[in-house]
Amino acid sequence: MTIKEVIEIMESHHKNFDPAQPTCDGVIAGDVSKECTGVALTCCPTARVIRQAANEGCNLLICHEPTFFDGWDKTDWLEGDPVYLVKKALLEETGMTVYRNHDHLHSDRPDGIFTGVAKKLGWEKYALSDEFMPGCCFQLPSTTVAGVAEQLAQAMGIDGIRIIGDPEMEVERAAVVFHFLGGDMDREVLRFVKENCVQVLIPGEVVDWTVGEYVQDGLFFGQKLALLNPGHFNWEEPGMEYMAQWLADDLGGAVPVKFFQSGNQYKWIAFD
């Protein structure tokens, strides 16, 4: 089976995607006419993941986020950049083809990334709806903010989560919500939080001056609200792990399919 054939099978899975929609998805690097020796899936196609995937015998890497540090993977602005040049050389050396699957996954109904998060947490049975935009509420068994944070960290394979709020606060209503990026969607998500009496928010990414400030001020005035921020890539990674499962089924064992965690971008420095 060629890489092109694998891509065609993958794209056919996304029945709701409008071909006329402008998209960042597609082949970012490599030769799709080659025989596919293995498919690697990850959230962020870092140099470490590229090397790891090649060492495991894969020559097709399907990622969710950009390869070349730009939302549309444009490279004209990187001419002569040393990091770009060595990463490009790594792709050429390993013979890796990179395909970005971002918009297709988010076009699935329900959303392919959010579904993976819910499945990884084991929260599907607690979901109050099957809609994920601007968020999905979950009615959990009684727990604490710290309990939710620990479950998130274990599911996402990370060693820490940033928090705004009281770790010991008891909660039953959590919401996985869209990223807070400083735009109009932030207001939609905050309306969703209020309308659904959310106690703990789990966004993919935050800017401090919208939701961060809102939660801080709410806490000052006695509101029972907390925010957990595992990080954009960690938050979306379970969606790519879930994709590895359904893609393997769609390919029917024709080629190996492996998931590679891109991992936490940040390390923790503790001070007394």
One-letter amino acid of 81:
D
Location of structure tokens 């400030």: 213
Q: What are phi and psi of 138, to 5 degrees?
A: -130, 130
Does 236 appear as a known binding residue? Answer: yes
DSSP state of 267: -
Residue 172 CB burial class (10 angstroms; 0-12, 13-18, ≥19) = middle
Q: What angle do CA 123, 180, 108 make, to 5 degrees?
A: 50
Calpha distance 248→264 (Å, rounded): 25
Tokens for 251? Answer: 């390919």
Task: Give whole-number Cα distances, 48 to 44, 74, 165, 167, 266, in Å.
Answer: 10, 21, 34, 34, 15
Calpha distance 36→4 (Å, rounded): 9
With CA atoms as reference, report the closest residue to 39 among 92, 87, 96, 94.
96
Q: Do the bridges between strand 97-100 and strand 26-29 make them parallel or antiparallel, or are there none, so unpaired? A: antiparallel
Calpha distance 138→254 (Å, rounded): 37
Q: What are phi and psi of 47, to 5 degrees?
A: -60, -40
Which residues have a Cβ under 8 Å from the Cβ of 218 and sit 6 or more positions away? 225
With CA atoms as reference, report the closest residue to 28 among 77, 69, 80.
69
Binding residues: 64, 232, 236
Binding residues for a divalent metal cation: 64, 232, 236
